[in-house]
Amino acid sequence: MDALEQARSEAQALHSKFTTVKDHAAIRANAKVVAAEAAVLAHSVKALLGSQQTDAKHHLRDAASALESAAKDAQETAGATDAQLKEKSSAMRARVRTAVALLSLAVAAKRATLVKA
């Protein structure tokens, strides 16, 4: 598994961490962890930009942006009131899901480039 596929796998794991929890206290606790992990993953994805072709780079930039937004959403989720919790956590999950999709597109673009070579 190369670094790009590893990043996608980590984003998928990040999404799973949050989708399985229903208790408000656990959601808030997980949000703090997700915020930190999403920020680290966004940094890792940005580091991959230099080694990728143009098509994959576009998807990676967008994925990094989605992960940075997810980290921000997760921080807000950790401090959200009960009334805001569902809205904030849904936004965070949607951004991580978007990042996973974009990383999958980057993997596909990389594979397509390898097939052409």
CATH (domain of 88): 1.20.120
| Among candidate residues 116, 112, 97, the one with its CA nearest the CA of residue 56 | 112
How many domains is the chain partitioned into structurally? 1
Q: For 43-95, what is each residue's pLDDT tens digit?
A: 999 998 888 877 889 999 999 999 999 999 999 998 899 889 889 888 999 99
What is the reported pTM? 0.88
Domain that holds residue 28: 3-116
> How deeply is 117 buried, as exposed, middle or buried, from its count of CB atoms within 10 A (0-12, 13-18, 19+)?
exposed
CA distance 102 to 82: 31
